[in-house]
Amino acid sequence: MHRRLLVPGALAASLLLAIPASAAGTAPGAPGIGDPYYPAYGNGGYNVSHYDLRLKYQPSNDRLEGTATILATTTQALSRFNLDFALDVSEVRVNGRKAAFTASGEHELEITPTRPLAKDKPVGVVVRYSGTPSQVKVYGYTSWLRTADGGVAAGEPESAWWWFPSNDHPRDKATFDVSVAVPDGTQAISNGVLGSQTSRLGWTRYNWRSDKPQATYLATLAVGKFDITTDTTADGLPVINAYSEGLGVHAGAARASVERTAEVTEWLTGVFGPYPYNAIGGYVPDVRTGYALETQTRPFYSPRQFASGSNVSVVVHEMAHQWYGDSVSVDGWRDIWINEGFARYAQWLWSEKEGEGTAQELADHAYARHPADDPFWTVKPGDPGPDNQFHLAVYDRGAMTLQALRNEIGDKDFFAILKGWPTEHRHGNATVGDFTRYAEKVSGKPLAGLFHAWLDTGSRPAAPAADGARSAAADAEPRSWQKIAATNTIHDHDHEGHEGHEGHDSHDHGGR
């Protein structure tokens, strides 16, 4: 039974102050960040600023133990909040106090602190956990890639669930410290700079730091036996590349490609502006998959990317993502064209630089390969939908869009846009609409019609050729075409027991 108590104003105010925060406007944080493609991804109610991950991994049985310390700031008064995670949790503390927790949905860790959290306040969350990542299935698969000598976390749009709890959406970036203990003789590769490496009682601990904001899917971990090469660029950036000792016939081609990362990065700074991070490199683990991924500062390459020999074009693609996709990340997954259209166009520009086919010739050839009735044209790069997020049209039609833009506004404004955009949105997030408005601002031209035709219609636009001219390459294949086409599976992600683009074409993601 409830009674209504009538009190004078001053007394009422004092009583209100005494009411626990849980009764004064707190609410649970949303179990998703609000992305219509993946409603369960990310969480509401807080923003993360830093992840500190202290891990121990045993390759022989794929056993991972970890303590994650997550620093965040609340964006609302919270009675409860979620993290995205799939391993077994043994303890959670919030601001030093033990908190109640439970698992829900496919990958939700619900945390209820002993005291409600006020809005706009810092909060520290500690999660202790363990598990065997390769045996944990979410939506029927695992993004953890088991190898003969260890394991690898690298996947898009999800891979964090199998190795650390997070607010798993590109909209919430954070800095990272990743400390990993592995048996002596085994290496642990992650993002950023290797701060220290120490050995004790049969274990070696590697301490990696990423000091610029990083999306959770761009965080990577690879444990195994690697041959590691180190160097320094002319600008003083540390270069760390790693190659699994089990690459076999792919080893030479992989090295001949990845070892050119510094050269590619130097060239890209002339196209996209200053490199946004303090380290570069790449790694090639001994995995069965065939894709590559722009994991921040240190892209992941499957050996199969080099099955037909060396291919610098794939390195160009993944390093271009360091500007377009990593530094400037999607605001929502529908904005994937900002990632993939630009990385593919960088491959075309590299071909142009190498004298193996201009961007115009490549655009003409790509256009000619798809007649008007080809279903290719039904995919809209500006909003492809989750099932087509990594469709070839997002790459090739997306790059054709940029060639059409270049023809419309001229090289001076076009290349000013390619440099200015990642500078203006450095370490942030942006939408396709943001880019189209920026292009109009820089060029001073109305471009809504051009972008609508190329990004938002389900039919074949007019050819992107300059002045309507058709280059000979529309029929004659540019010399670089086969190397670029070899990267068309760049984001085809084979999960254990299922195959699909980046792990989500072939299964249901809970009403995504």
Q: What is the pLDDT of residues 61-103, one digit of tens each?
A: 999 999 999 999 999 999 999 999 999 999 999 999 999 999 9
Report d(CA 345, CA 399) in Å as an integer.
Answer: 5
Q: Which amino acid is at 341?
A: G
Residues paired with 212 in a beta bridge: none
Report d(CA 229, CA 239) in Å as an integer.
Answer: 8
Span 312-340, average pLDDT: 98
pLDDT digit string, tens, across residues 369-382:
999 999 999 999 99
Give the percent of the chain with pLDDT over 70: 89
HEC profile of 317-383:
HHHHCCCECCCEEECCHHHCHHHHHHHHHHHHHHHHHHCCCCHHHHHHHHHHCCCCCCHHHHCCCCC
**Residue 396 pLDDT class (50, 70, 90 cuts):** very high
Report d(CA 148, CA 134) in Å as an integer.
Answer: 12
- Quote helix, strand, coil % in the chain, to nearest 5: 30, 30, 40
Span 101-124, average pLDDT: 98
- Helix (H), strand (E) at residue 253: helix 251-258
pTM: 0.92
Q: Which amino acid is at 470?
A: R
Cβ pair 435, 323 in contact under 8 A: no
Those residues with Cβ within 8 angstroms of residue 428's Cβ, 6 or more apart along the chain or in another chain: 213, 328, 329
Report d(CA 477, CA 27) in Å as an integer.
Answer: 59
Span 268-273, average pLDDT: 98
Residues paired with 50 in a beta bridge: 71, 175
What are the Cα distances from residue 68, in Å, to 45, 96, 180?
19, 13, 12
Report d(CA 12, CA 197) in Å as an integer.
Answer: 60
What are the Cα distances from residue 255, in Å, to 107, 124, 194, 196, 296?
37, 42, 21, 25, 19
Q: Write the DSSP symbol of residue 134.
A: G
- The full length of the chain comes to 512
pLDDT at 467: 58
Could you count the other beta carbons within 10 Å of the beta carbon of residue 470? 12
Span 245-274, average pLDDT: 97
The token pair at 21 is 């925060």
Say which range, 106-120, 121-135, 458-472, has the weakest mean pLDDT. Answer: 458-472
CA angle 343, 372, 367 (to 5 degrees): 35
Cβ pair 25, 42 in contact under 8 A: no
Torsion of Cα atoms, 219 then 163 then 137 then 128, to 10°: -150
**Residue 466 pLDDT class (50, 70, 90 cuts):** low
Identify which has the larger pLDDT, 8 or 490: 490
> Which of 21-35, 195-209, 454-468 has maximum average pLDDT?
195-209
What are the Cα distances from residue 148, in Å, to 181, 286, 299, 367?
18, 8, 21, 42
Residue 493 has pLDDT above 60, yes or no: no
Lookup result for tokens 């949905």: 105
The token pair at 57 is 């991994």
Report d(CA 212, CA 296) in Å as an integer.
Answer: 10
Dihedral pair phi/psi, residue 373, rounded to 5°? -90, 5
